[in-house]
Amino acid sequence: MGCGVRFVDRLLTRGFYKLGLVVGETPGYFLIVPVLLTLLCVTGYQRVQYEMDPEYLFSPEKGPGKVERNVVETYFKMNYSARFNPTRITRPGRFGRVIVVPKEGDNMLSVEIWKELRELDAIIRNTSIKYGHDEQDREETFTYEEICARWEEHCFDNDILNLDKIMDEVVAGTLNLTFPIMINPVTWDAHTFPVYFGGTVISDDGIIISVPSLQLVYFVNADTKYQDARGAKWEEAFLDNVGRAEDGGRFKYISTARFASRTLDIELEKNTQSVVPYFGSTFVIMALFSTLTCMMADWVRSKPVLGLLGNVSAAMGTLAGFGLAMYCGVDFIGINLVSPLLMCSIGIDDTFVMLAAWRRTPVTDPVPQRMAAMMSEAAVSITITSITDIVSLWIGMLSPFPSIQIFCLYSSFAVGFIFAWHVTFFAACVAVVGYCEEQNRHSLFCFKVQPVSLSGDRSWLYRVFCAGGVNPKDPDNPADNPENMLMAFFRDTLSRYLSWWFVKVVVLCVFAVYLAGALYGLTTLQEGLQRRKLSRADSYSIEFYDREDYFFREFPYRMQVVISGALNYSDPVVQDQIENLTRTFERSPFISNSLYTESWLRSFVSYIRRNQEYLNVSIDTEPEFIKTLNELWLFKPNPFSLDVKFSNDGSQIIASRFMIQAVNISDGNMEKDMVRDLRRISRESSLNVSVFHPYFVFFDQFELVKPTSIQSMVVGAVVMMIISFIFIPNFLCSLWVAFCIISIETGVAGYMALWDVNLDSISMINLIMCIGFSVDFTAHICYAYMSSKAETSEEKIRECLYALGLPIFQGATSTVLGVIALILAQSYIFLVFFKMIFLVILFGALHGMFLLPVLLSLFGPGACSSVRRRRSKECPSPSTASFPQPYYVRGKFVVDGGSGGGGGSGGEKDQGLGTSGEDSSESSSSKSQRRRVEEEEAEEEAAQRRRYVEGWRRSHSYHNGGYTSDEDSRHRYHRSPRHSVTRFP
């Protein structure tokens, strides 16, 4: 068992044994101090800092998109007040967008529709707000015209609305609209139709046939923090006004879908807050489950109050952990609201472990002694569970996504406090209830009652609702110690089925199918967090996202290509390099042709060459090039004036940019491939090139989420194996744990894809948590199997399932109950949490109860001995068929079942997770079974021989470190303190 590292197990056992003695003797301190510390930590909630910026939360901290944005903003900072151009923005800014479709038909080209578009435009432009610099400042009234983003003194204008002046001719067919650009013959506006029209149907000669959708955009000034905050308030008014007009039936011919830059923030907050109303019902369900699970037919040893206090302890730990994180200045995010539900489930699991250890202690021992035994038995189980959960969350904190870092930090604080409060506060609660049990008091009403064996003359109501405990004069009475039916089912029925070869083959075949399904699911796994999934299912923004994805995916992104560094643009070699770079971008399958490219250099050089004869200018030298460029091309009304950055003295061009157009980008995978291809072209260029769009900051998650997830899972599996080896010092056991982690994680990742869950920052949080959850069941099964002293694998599996079958069921059920309310929140975020937690708990339980027992019986220690034993039974040798020989025991021979060194750790340790024997204590039920066997014995000599054999087994198991089988433990506790020595005449 790897004695070199067993000191950790021994250290924990001794330490918790001493802690149990102290708690059992003075429980009051351990009740009061955690409550006071919790109240102190809760005061940290007054310092809560709520963060809901989607860019900050769901994009990498140091992603390439943010680096590229810094490059662009270094040379080309957007001026919203006087030089605003929507195709050259570097941040979303403050804006309002409306996508309009006709209520009837699929064509927007109608006089009536254009009249309603003008009415919609008037509603938006007349939207006003009242806003002041601060709470003390007098509020002023602002309209859109006063705070709009401007180009040369004029608000950014949706010039497409000027088509109303020629719409009669268009409808009549006397005037055609040509795609993609057309000059309005009345206003002389140059209409760029791909910017406004979506899903346009075009004839072979470029004539627009129908326009299914149209969008209008309104930008407001956001140069300063004050202007940005004012613009955010205008956005809220914009959303309200357009929403009222749409919902109030103001428009007869058009249907609107609205969106603003704050929509993501607002909807994300509503999304995360949607789970709050279900907190109360969830905690009630959890309390009922834990209370009912801790109840027994014996009303003295029943522990319903402790089941409820387990929830209280978990809630206190979560509150304290969150409060301390807020004291440390960590931002709070909406996703954290899932954590209390998960933390409560973890707390209930620890409750089951400690109550199981309590029930395995002799009822005749004093409370401090029982507390010491309970704590020493539960130490390894609770510590492994808590450490694996905390370490997996710490691994998540290494993620580049702030949302994952913050969630994992808050959750790790909560797990740590839950562990601390369970070994102090909850342990003290167990001690107080233990004193009531010692006095044979009712578990609910605290009055003294009689055991079942002494209440025969009482009414049936008393026997059913009051009787319990044991008779101090006859603690082994079978009437007071019935055996647990569920534990017996796992030991006798399930283990027998799993020993059949047919069942083993079926289990392995089902596992092969499970693995094949998971691998197939991995091939269909989609990456990226879609914006619509950050909103509730009933949000107004869903309709906008759907319309945008359906109608505006042909020309979705206008991207900037920045060339930084001082270059001599008059040099033909430099001009050819930039032109070749532009053509390389245009040859990309994700980029449209040169018709949609805006390049100041291409157009300027072409213009000079075409008009060289009569312009009488030269661009052969750098000074001449710059002079001619400024005089003929970069005049202020020309948007190209925004694309060239000169040095301070104006003698050199230190940066320039051109615009390219993405085409036919239909989904997240194409967005990822597009960004990867454009960045590849930039890297391979001999120039210093950066390509950028404001959404690239979000697209970076597509590049990072898969490698980060794989790295986290691999590191987590290795770390979990090391932790398992430290606490369960057997290399083979650690390998089984690592195998199960890989299998469970593969299953969760594969089947989440088949369950319509993308690989994104939300699912990545769950994959990281699953690393810790996947260890819980499998590690304890391996621990119980490896520590069993049974000779054959079948007997080892029998003991494992007896000790762990019921707790696996209890732990899995409590965790699923803890997150089941997430289904009702109508939120993709919380639905992902439920789906993935459900998958990991389901797969972990099935691995623990079915797959691992089969694999261990076939390939684990003891498998070969099982085969040899079966063969020996089939073909007995002469020695095995010989008559038994008589034996002689000296009269002075003494067997001391209690020898074997110090260690006040008491009886044997709980093999793994442990469970509650709901209907009996382990020791008392074992005694009653032994008593029934003794009553059936006819000969005293056979009874003496049995006592001798069992006394030898007790001594052997004790010297072996306390790792005994359940059969051993039955006889081991069959002695009072006065009868630890058995003498044979």
Q: Which of 2-6, 533-537, 815-819, 946-950 has the lowest mean pLDDT?
A: 946-950
Maximum average pLDDT range among 308-312, 704-708, 735-739, 877-881: 308-312
% helix, strand, coil for the chain, step of 5: 60, 10, 30
Question: Nearest-CA neighbor of 421 among 320, 305, 535?
Answer: 320
Is residue 885 over pLDDT 50?
Answer: no
Element counts in the chain: helices (H) and strands (E): 36, 19
Residue 338 neighbours by CB under 8 Å, 6+ apart? 275, 819, 822, 830, 833
Residue 764's pLDDT is 87
Residue 5's pLDDT is 59
Determine the length of the chain: 985
Check residues 489 and 803 and name the one with the higher pLDDT. Answer: 489
Residue 981's pLDDT is 34
Tell me how crowded residue 878 is: count the other CB atoms within 10 A of its CB.
Answer: 6
Q: What are the C-alpha distances in Å from 864 to residues 50, 501, 602, 791, 871?
A: 60, 15, 79, 10, 11
Residue 538's pLDDT is 84
Residue 964's pLDDT is 37
What the block records as the tokens of 113 is 């529709």
Span 194-201, mean pLDDT?
93
Residue 136's pLDDT is 56
What average pLDDT does the chain have? Answer: 82
Span 903-926, mean pLDDT?
40
In terms of pTM, does the model score above 0.85?
no
Rounded CA gap, 57 and 336, in Å? 12
The residue to which tokens 């009702």 are assigned: 824
Question: Nearest-CA neighbor of 333 among 57, 42, 535?
Answer: 57
For 345-358, what is each residue's pLDDT tens digit? 878 888 887 887 78
Rounded CA gap, 60 and 76, in Å? 23
Residue 776 neighbours by CB under 8 Å, 6+ apart? 349, 385, 388, 811, 844, 913
Is residue 940 over pLDDT 70?
Answer: no
Is residue 17 over pLDDT 60?
Answer: yes
Residue 674 neighbours by CB under 8 Å, 6+ apart? 588, 590, 662, 665
β-pair partners for 474: 471
Is residue 977 over pLDDT 70?
Answer: no
What the block records as the tokens of 786 is 């490896």
SS (H, E, C) 733-745: HHHHHHHHHHHHH
Residue 546 neighbours by CB under 8 Å, 6+ apart? 532
Maximum average pLDDT range among 85-99, 820-834, 872-886: 85-99
Report residue 923's pLDDT band, with 50, 70 and 90 as the boundaries.
Answer: very low
Report residue 682's pLDDT band, with 50, 70 and 90 as the boundaries.
Answer: very high
For 707-751, what is each residue's pLDDT tens digit? 888 888 888 888 887 887 787 766 777 777 778 888 998 999 999
Classified as helix, coil or strand, 151 is: strand
Rounded CA gap, 911 and 895, in Å? 26
Are 812 and 826 within 8 A, CB to CB? no
Residue 664's pLDDT is 93
Residue 32's pLDDT is 95
Q: Residue-wise over 684-715: b if at least 16 C-beta within 10 A, else e?
A: ebeeebbbbbbbbbbbbbbbbbeebbeebbee
